[in-house]
Amino acid sequence: MLQLRRGVAAFAAGLIGLAVTVTPAHADDTADDAPDDAGDYRMQLVLDSSGSMKEPAKGGTKIEVAKESLDTVVDDLPDSAQVGLRVYGAEVSDGPKACTDSQEVVSPGTGNRDELHTAVDDYKPLGETPIGYALQEAAKDLGSEGKRTIVLVSDGEPTCKPNPCKVARQLSKDGIDLRIDVVGLSVDAKTRKKLACIAKAGNGSYYDADDAESLTRSIDTVSTRAFRPFDLTGEPVDGSDRPGDAPTIETGRQYLDKLPREGDSKFYRFERRDPRSILHVGTTARTASGSLGNGVIMMLKAENSDVTCGHGTSFANSIGADRPLLAGSVSTAGEQDMSECKNADFYTLEIEGSTLDSPAQPVRDHRVRGAAARRRRRERRAPAAGRAAPLVEARAGQGVGRRRTRYQPRERPGARGRDVRPRHPDG
């Protein structure tokens, strides 16, 4: 396997942007389905109002911590966000009816910020913990269409049937666009295990919180994912099944396609406009949950030649995300001394699926964002994460900064580094 040389690797360590933005085969119409705004998503907060919420936590009782956090979360919601609120254990202290004690106090919708604040103020601890029933009702609140998220905030184990883990598993089967995220508030190891089971079964994530700040941070993470749409940009392109039919794509532009499945390949054709330049191409996708180890193999070859001028692999990792990120690049930098690569006017890019058996999802930023971070981000007008960076052909004489923090795949003349050096026109 060819690897990038050391000098290039220092530059390539920050490969975050895209040269060619792609999604796997059979993830049909992913780009077309990208939402225009947060209004395409609905979220239902499901809050524990059981008697145990009277217990102490960092910064007050659990109910006080929850109220402080929820008021902050409600203030930070986008105006177009469709959010509702359901509680359980709020009206019946015990007896058979306690296991169906759950009420929708605010229906999912926009323009209901004041209603949500009022509901939070009225939120008081009382009864049992019928989580399974509350989840079933929350799913009904959200309906059966569109992207839907249930956010469960609980401090204890379920005390009623049905089993919430089984309920979450069934709901995730019934609706492919429904996920259940869970926040455990000051829970012990036994409770954490049961709540984490709900999140896993519901295709969601589990978060621990023990005070208002960490609870706010956890819910902010979930709402950011729910209401921050991913906007795929670029020109659609259909890679060919054979190199001789490959479409020509240009530097300075960005493209969208679908990655092939395992063992299949797609081909693209690039023109190198500067005879001494080096071509860099990258791909990225968010893979489905549980797809750790899936990936792609990328090869750049001189056109009409079997000589490989660049070789790269990219496999999904789970760092910082419940759905692994697949990202990588390939470059001609390592084989510039080979005459076929050095003198080629056109290259063929082959992307081969490697154990990629699940539809990938567009990249979303799942990093934690609290209220202060949101305000700072708006002030700085930071670009949205996951947006494709174009291929750029650099002019002669441009170097590569060693401290570049965003990768912009580009065709560039020469590379500075220990093993890869700019070449003299005569050498």
Residues contacting 77, CB < 8 A, separation 6+: 83, 113, 223, 227
Helix (H) or strand (E) holding 117, with range, is helix 113-122
Domains and CATH numbers, the chain: 6-33+233-413 (no CATH), 38-227 (3.40.50.410)
What's the pLDDT tens digit per position in 247-304?
988 766 677 777 777 788 989 988 877 766 777 777 766 555 444 456 778 888 888 8
% pLDDT > 70, the chain: 63
For residue 108, the model assigns a pLDDT of 95
Alpha carbon distance 170, 132 (integer Å): 11
176 or 94, higher pLDDT: 94
Note the pLDDT tens digit of each residue in 120-140. 999 899 999 999 999 999 999
Task: Tell whether the model's pLDDT for residue 37 goes beyond 70.
Answer: no
- The whole-number pLDDT of residue 234 equals 66
Strands of the sheet containing 41-48, edge to edge, are 102-109, 82-88, 41-48, 147-154, 178-185, 206-209
For the stretch 377-395, pLDDT in tens is: 445 444 444 444 444 343 3
- For 54-93, the pLDDT digits (tens) are 999 988 899 999 999 999 999 988 888 899 999 999 999 8
Instruction: Look at residue 321 in the predicted model and tell me its pLDDT.
Output: 44
Exposed, middle or buried: residue 317 (CB in 10 Å: 0-12, 13-18, 19+)?
Answer: middle
Stretch among 54-68, 105-119, 334-348 having the lowest mean pLDDT: 334-348
Residue 172 has pLDDT above 80, yes or no: yes
Q: pLDDT class for 241, splitting at 50, 70, 90?
A: very high
Number of other residues whose CB lies within 10 A of the CB of residue 355? 15
CA dihedral 37, 183, 163, 171 (to 10 degrees): 10
